[in-house]
Amino acid sequence: MSFYSVELPYRTDAAHYYAMLADLPWAAWLDSGGMARFDILTAAPQRTLVLNDNASHGDPFAMLRSELGERVAPVENIPFAGGALGYWAYDLTRRICLPSGASQDGEPDPGTATVRVPDMAIGFYDWALVLDHQLKTTRLVSHRRYAETNALLPQLLQRLQGNPSLPEGTFRVQGKITSNFTAESYAAAFARVQGYLRSGDCYQVNLAQRFSASATGDALAAYLALRKMSPAPYSAFLNLPQVRILCASPERFLRVRNGSVETRPIKGTRPRGGDAQQDHWLAEELRNHPKDRAENLMIVDLLRNDLGKCCVPGSVRVPELFGVESFSNVHHLVSTVQGKLAEGRDALHALRDCFPGGSVTGAPKIRAMQIIAQLEPDRRGIYCGAIGYAGFDGNMDSNIVIRTIVHSGNQVHCWAGGGIVADSNVAAEYRETLDKASAMLGLLQHYGGEL
Residues identified as active-site: 251, 267
Spatial separation of the C-alpha atoms in residues 30 and 22, rounded to whole Å: 13
Answer yes or no: are the C-beta atoms of 28 and 238 closer than 8 Å: yes
**Cβ within 8 Å of residue 311, ≥6 positions away:** 261, 339, 340, 341, 342, 345, 350
Q: How many Å apart are CA 161 and CA 164, to the nearest integer? A: 9
DSSP 3-state assignment of 411?
strand
Dist CA 348 CA 119 (whole Å): 16
Rounded-to-integer distance, Cα 94 and Cα 5, Å: 40
d(CA 121, CA 128): 18
Residue 92, C-beta contacts closer than 8 angstroms, at least 6 positions apart = 51, 60, 119, 120, 355, 385
Burial classification of residue 307, based on how many CB atoms lie within 10 Å of its CB (0-12 exposed, 13-18 middle, 19 or more buried): buried
